[in-house]
Amino acid sequence: MNKRIERCTMSAMMALGSMAIAGVLSTAQAALPAVQHQGSVQYISGGIGIDESEAMKAAAKDYPLSLTFAAQRDGKADYVASVAVVIRDAQGKEVLKTTAEGPYMLIKLPAGTYKVSATYEGRAQEREVNVQGAGSGRAVFEWK
């Protein structure tokens, strides 16, 4: 009888654990902003609020390019939104032109070298990024 109770207890604990994991995963997915499309490029932009920013960080491994935007204010760095973003491929062809709706932007691009231009409050910065696969390209833009 004790073995039976132990097995039932163990089964119940495993079921609860599985439900908890599934709940965390679905919450993270629910917290992600909607996927946007521009031509063949898919991207998400956001990260405002702790749930959404944590979901964006977790999803970064599935996107070849990750961008982060921040600005110095009163001596400390704060994340910013409303950043104009333009991405050009190695031939100079524009592949994405949009405005970041939060401090994080995740973009699905084919492998290659890209120039990323980010403009915040009229001040532009440019980075060259090399994208090889999911989670491989990253650029941080910080305005002082």
Could you give the domains of the chain? Answer: 32-143 (2.60.40.10)
Q: Which two tokens stand for residue 76?
A: 């400390």
State the pLDDT confidence band at 31, using cuts at 50, 70 and 90.
confident
Residues 88, 89, 93, 98, Cα dihedral to 10°: -30
d(CA 110, CA 133): 8
Q: Which phi and psi (to 5°) does residue 27 adopt?
A: -65, -40
pTM, whole model, 2 decimals?
Answer: 0.78
Residue 11 pLDDT > 90: no
pLDDT tens digits, residue range 65-116? 999 999 998 888 899 999 999 999 999 999 999 999 999 999 999 999 999 9
Distances in Å between the alpha carbon of 78 and those of 5, 20, 58, 124? Answer: 54, 33, 20, 17
3 Cβ contact list (under 8 Å, min separation 6): none
